[in-house]
């Protein structure tokens, strides 16, 4: 039951983020998703900063808690602690950066989470390595590989590679970045819940087979 709750927390992360983004923008007259950062919704001069900052903080806490469930679930699937543990640590670091981002709105220097958010792209990489030998997991491995590569590419663009990001389109690029790097948490959470349920069901079916 505890593991299910922890993995459910992982599913809640993108829900919290997009609630903050959508509701925060809806209460901010003139806000543009094209030209403005998401964090501006929680800045001191925003009309209702709590509508952004509170869900972001809750989502960060959910990610930190979910990191425990991810470690245990990946370890049980793969039989290996190393990659499962690293995936959990990376997720916890990313979650901590979200908590700091929500607690310390722009322009507070702590809003950046001291760079902990950069651990985010490592979560799909370590999860991929954890399940690389797990049977019937090819689809998830391909998915994790896509998320990792996509996250790295878009993050590099956000940092200036290719000089594609301008003040006139920074919002679009940030939405692309978060669109790749956040919703997938729910997919992993659901997959781990289903795999865990199937693993527990198999021994019962074997015992019931005459």
Map residue 115 onto helix, strand or coil: helix
Identify whether 15 is part of a domain: yes
Q: Rounded to whole angstroms, how far apart are CA atoms 77 and 87?
A: 14
Identify whether 205 is part of a domain: no
Identify whether 10 is part of a domain: yes
Query: What 8-state DSSP symbol labels residue 112?
Result: G
Identify whether 54 is part of a domain: yes
Identify whether 206 is part of a domain: no
Whether 177 contacts 39, CB under 8 Å: no
Q: How confident is the model at residue 205 (pLDDT cuts 50, 70, 90)?
A: very low
User: Which residues constitute the domain of residue 149?
Assistant: 2-200
Enumerate residues 6+ apart whose C-beta is below 8 A from 110: 100, 103, 104
Identify whether 208 is part of a domain: no
pTM score = 0.91
Identify whether 22 is part of a domain: yes
pLDDT higher than 60, residue 207: no
Percent of the chain with pLDDT over 70: 94
Q: Convert the pLDDT of each residue in 163-185 to its tens digit.
A: 999 999 999 999 999 999 999 99
Q: Rounded to whole angstroms, how far apart are CA atoms 143 and 139?
A: 6
Cα dist. 128→90, 200, 210 in Å?
Answer: 13, 22, 37
Helical ranges in the chain per DSSP H? 2-26, 50-78, 82-103, 122-130, 138-158, 170-181, 184-208
Q: Convert the pLDDT of each residue in 73-123 to its tens digit.
A: 999 999 989 999 999 999 999 999 999 999 999 999 999 999 999 999 999
Residue 110, H or E segment: none
Identify whether 8 is part of a domain: yes
pLDDT number for residue 80: 85
Q: State how many domains the chain has.
A: 1
pLDDT number for residue 203: 41
Q: Convert the pLDDT of each residue in 52-73 to its tens digit.
A: 999 999 999 999 999 999 999 9
């Amino acid at each position: 039951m505890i593991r299910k709750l922890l993995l459910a927390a992982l599913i809640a992360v993108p829900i919290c983020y997009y609630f903050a983004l959508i509701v925060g923008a809806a209460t901010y007259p003139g806000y543009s998703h094209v030209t403005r950062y998401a964090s501006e919704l929680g800045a001191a001069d925003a009309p209702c900063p709590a509508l952004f900052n509170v869900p972001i903080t809750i989502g960060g806490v959910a990610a930190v808690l979910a990191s425990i469930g991810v470690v245990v679930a990946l370890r049980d699937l793969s039989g290996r602690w190393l990659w499962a543990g690293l995936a959990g640590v990376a997720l916890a670091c990313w979650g901590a950066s979200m908590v700091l981002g929500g607690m310390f709105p722009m322009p507070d220097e702590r809003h950046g989470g001291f760079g902990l958010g950069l651990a985010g792209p490592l979560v799909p990489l370590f999860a991929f390595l954890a399940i690389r030998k797990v049977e019937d997991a090819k689809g998830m491995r391909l998915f994790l590989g896509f998320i990792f590569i996509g996250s790295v590419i878009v993050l590099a663009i956000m940092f200036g590679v290719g000089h594609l990001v301008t003040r006139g389109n920074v919002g679009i690029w940030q939405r692309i970045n978060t669109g790749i790097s956040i919703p997938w948490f729910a997919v992993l959470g659901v997959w781990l819940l289903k795999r865990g349920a199937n693993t527990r069901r198999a021994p019962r079916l074997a015992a019931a087979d005459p």
